[in-house]
Amino acid sequence: MQQRNWAEIATGALILLVAAAFLIFAVGQSGRSLSTNGGMTLTARFDRIDGLAPGADVRIGGVKVGTVVEQRLDPKTYLAVLRLSLQPGIDLPTDSSAEITSESLLGGKYVALVPGGAADMLQDGGAITITQSSVSLEALLGRFIFSVTQMNSGNSSQQGESEGAPAASAPR
């Protein structure tokens, strides 16, 4: 009986070690990190961040240079505040901008940084003040459908007027 308990404990410990090894491997292959990278941390405020989650990429020119660490709502301005962690060695001018962009129509979202041309650089803990919020695909589609409907109803009313009007006689 005593020997069976030790065998069960050893088997459980082995399973936990294998699970931990798989977790470490998965985190290493995903490009994510369990610790801070020693780089710069910046904040940016947006009207909307639809579909953007902590852990999302931060990219410059399509190259991943950091991650979104935190998102929260500013209770005074009702703006979404993102905290971004950038890799060491990334220097951004103070007039750089940030925009939330979609990877594809069905893909996730990421923060795209566009470096500015100022001589002064953002410091650790600084803020990116020029931002462009997420564009809602549903809202764009709704506007398109509304405009097509309006255009069609305008065309049908014009056709009704021209059909009901008397025909002009040709000059003699």
Q: How confident is the model at residue 30 (pLDDT cuts 50, 70, 90)?
A: low
Say whether pTM exceeds 0.95. no
pLDDT at 37: 57
> Does 39 or 126 have the greater pLDDT score?
126
pLDDT at 128: 95
pLDDT at 32: 55
At position 61, the amino acid (one-letter code) is G
The mean per-residue pLDDT over the stretch 84-91 comes to 92
pLDDT at 124: 93
Percentage of the chain exceeding pLDDT 70: 82
How high is the mean pLDDT of the chain?
Answer: 83
H or E segment to which residue 158 belongs: helix 137-164
* Rg (alpha carbons) of the chain, rounded to whole number: 28
The mean per-residue pLDDT over the stretch 28-45 comes to 71
- CB atoms under 10 Å from CB of 15, counted, come to 10
Q: What is the DSSP letter of 166?
A: P
Question: How many whole angstroms separate alpha carbon 172 and alpha carbon 169?
Answer: 9
pLDDT tops 70 at residue 49: yes
Give pLDDT tens digits for 96-141.
Answer: 999 998 887 777 889 999 999 999 999 999 999 999 887 777 777 8
- CB atoms under 10 Å from CB of 87, counted, come to 14
Q: 3-state SS of the chain: helix, strand, coil percent to 5?
A: 35, 25, 40
Strand order through the sheet with 97-102: 127-128, 41-46, 80-86, 63-73, 57-60, 109-114, 97-102, 130-132
65, 86 contact by CB (below 8 A): yes
At position 123, the amino acid (one-letter code) is Q
pLDDT tops 60 at residue 84: yes
Cβ neighbours of residue 84 closer than 8 Å, sequence gap 6 or more: 41, 42, 43, 44, 58, 66, 67, 68, 69, 98, 111, 128
Give me 63's structure tokens.
Answer: 């190259």
